[in-house]
Amino acid sequence: MYYITNQNNQIIAIDPSLLALLEVENIDELYREIALGDIKFSSSAEDGKVTITTAQNEETYDVKNNNLSGMLGNITLVQVQTFPEESMLIDDDISTFTLAENDEESSITKDENELVEKILKLDVSTEEEISLLHDDLISIKGTDDLLENDTSILDDSEEEAKEQSGDEQEISLLTDDSMDNEETRESSATEENDDALFDLVLPNAPEETIDKIAITITGKEQVETADDNQAPIVIDVKNISQSIGISTEDYNTFLTEYIDTALSLEKDLQSTQEEKRSHAIGTLSHLSNVLHLPVVSEIVTQMENATADNQNTHIESFYTTLARLTTSQLETAKEETSSILGIDSEIKVEAVDSVVIDSIDLHEEEPLSVPEAESVTTTTESFGTINLNDVQPIHFDFQLEQSAKDLSLPVELIEEFVHDFIGQAHVETEKILEAYEKGDLDTIQKIGHLLKGTSSNLRINPLSDTLYEIQFCEDSSKLEGMIRHYWAHFLSLETQINLISK
């Protein structure tokens, strides 16, 4: 049996016989079971073994790994060694006499050649009777040489032949006894074969009731029930970010950017133009694999293969799944799960020293809510107005490739995130100008911190430095110059990215 994994150790193809052993119908169902944790593949390259854990049991098998290079990158062909029960089913005759040999191994005292010599010395009545005995022995030996080491049956018959000195009826009894014993062994081995077959089909332990996931079948499509759609999907940010080679803060930022990208591609997913739809699905699939989101990747695959009739159902399921993604685990019954995809229409901005990227909806377009009790420097006097139309770009060098190298991410992914940041910056800059007219220094500082965090994560350092100045500015008379300085750097970044995209 075989299965194939990609460079991220995710299963991309599997032998039907292994699917049957796991009691799943297809690879889509296997993805679902793996994503939910009901089936786990734990491999050890050093030991050459793989442990497959299901809801019923846990089995460890010897494996042989073969590294291959393909269009999808480096892949690994994993050959699962044959079960002992399967080797017994290869040849019924061999398995029958092998089992008999193991059961009666202790009774072997003489080899076949000695037995033939002793029988030939018997005082039998005619040469024909001896020939008949010899033919029977050769016939038994001819059955795949399986009686080469098992002569206990003939030993018993030999004793009877010695006692009755070669009578024809006694030779006949020898033949009959041999055949009867042989049939008995075949029957016993067949029963053991049947038991082995049942062992392959039936689980070693009784199935337990699974309360986590309830599946209802509508037509030929499997759809999760409403209760499951409400359950949060917790992402292990710490382990995933370590495996990718980035910080948890960077991962949270990229995860938020991925969700924003998915929201912006909703119309393309629903489009009747195959080119737009394929491009959107390809982008979402690639990014979900990079971020190690197997549940999301599975649904994107379902969208790709969906027919026109059930396409909208899979799209709805995709966005429902995004809403369930969370990076925080419930610790007590009173704590609420923090969702990556914001539901509230307002952004609750935390104090500067305690801002966490994954708690902020970077693309929220509603005005910032600034609680009066937390306001540090709030004034009702206007600072004036700022016109950015006459600002000239200040060039600085930004390389997507260097940023991708620092973050250990594909260049295409970084480019996608930068495009999202540019769109975000346009929205937030309008809010800065409005806050400036209202004399709201606190809001300006917090928006500066927000944009500074994202630009810093993307390694856009010159732009991040200008936003750092805005974040900690306490003198409103210097704000206009800082804002114009920031905007000049932003225009340069936008121009560079637009040229790269073209």
pLDDT of residue 358: 41
pLDDT of residue 33: 81
pLDDT of residue 497: 92
Would residue 179 count as lying in a domain? Answer: yes
Nearest to 41 by CA among 9, 15, 13, 64: 9
Distance between CA 192 and CA 187 in Å, rounded? 9
Distance between CA 423 and CA 380 in Å, rounded? 29
Number of domains in the chain: 4
Taking residues 298-302, report their average pLDDT: 89
Query: Higher pLDDT residue, 197 or 430?
Result: 430
Query: Higher pLDDT residue, 363 or 298?
Result: 298
The range of the structural domain enclosing residue 42 comes to: 2-81
Q: The domain that contains 76 carries what CATH number?
A: 3.30.450
Mean pLDDT of the chain: 70
Express as a percent the part of the chain with pLDDT over 70: 59
Q: Please indicate, yes or no, whether residues 237 and 132 belong to a single structural domain of this protein.
A: no
Distance between CA 346 and CA 326 in Å, rounded? 19
Contacts of 50 (CB under 8 A, 6+ apart): 41, 42, 43, 44, 60, 61, 63, 78, 80
Taking residues 190-204, report their average pLDDT: 47
In this structure, what is the dihedral angle of CA atoms 119, 125, 126, 127, given to the nearest 10 degrees? 20
Domain stop point among 326, 352, 379: 326
In the predicted structure, residue 84 carries a pLDDT above the cut 60: no
In the predicted structure, residue 451 carries a pLDDT above the cut 90: yes
Q: Please indicate, yes or no, whether residues 188 and 289 belong to a single structural domain of this protein.
A: no
Distance between CA 403 and CA 458 in Å, rounded? 7
In the predicted structure, residue 289 carries a pLDDT above the cut 70: yes
Q: Please indicate, yes or no, whether residues 66 and 112 belong to a single structural domain of this protein.
A: no
Number of Cβ within 10 Å of residue 12's Cβ equals 15
List Cα–Cα distances, 21 to 14, 15, 92, in angstroms. Answer: 12, 10, 22
Would residue 248 count as lying in a domain? Answer: yes
Number of Cβ within 10 Å of residue 434's Cβ equals 14
Quick: pLDDT tens for 247-273: 888 888 888 888 888 888 888 888 888
Would residue 385 count as lying in a domain? Answer: yes
Query: Higher pLDDT residue, 329 or 266?
Result: 266
Taking residues 355-383, report their average pLDDT: 46
Would residue 336 count as lying in a domain? Answer: no
Would residue 401 count as lying in a domain? Answer: yes
pLDDT of residue 391: 93
For residue 473, the number of C-alpha atoms closer than 13 Å in the C-beta half-sphere is 26
**Stated pTM of the model:** 0.33
Residue 472 confidence class, pLDDT cut points 50, 70, 90 = very high
Question: Residue written as tokens 């005619």?
Answer: 126
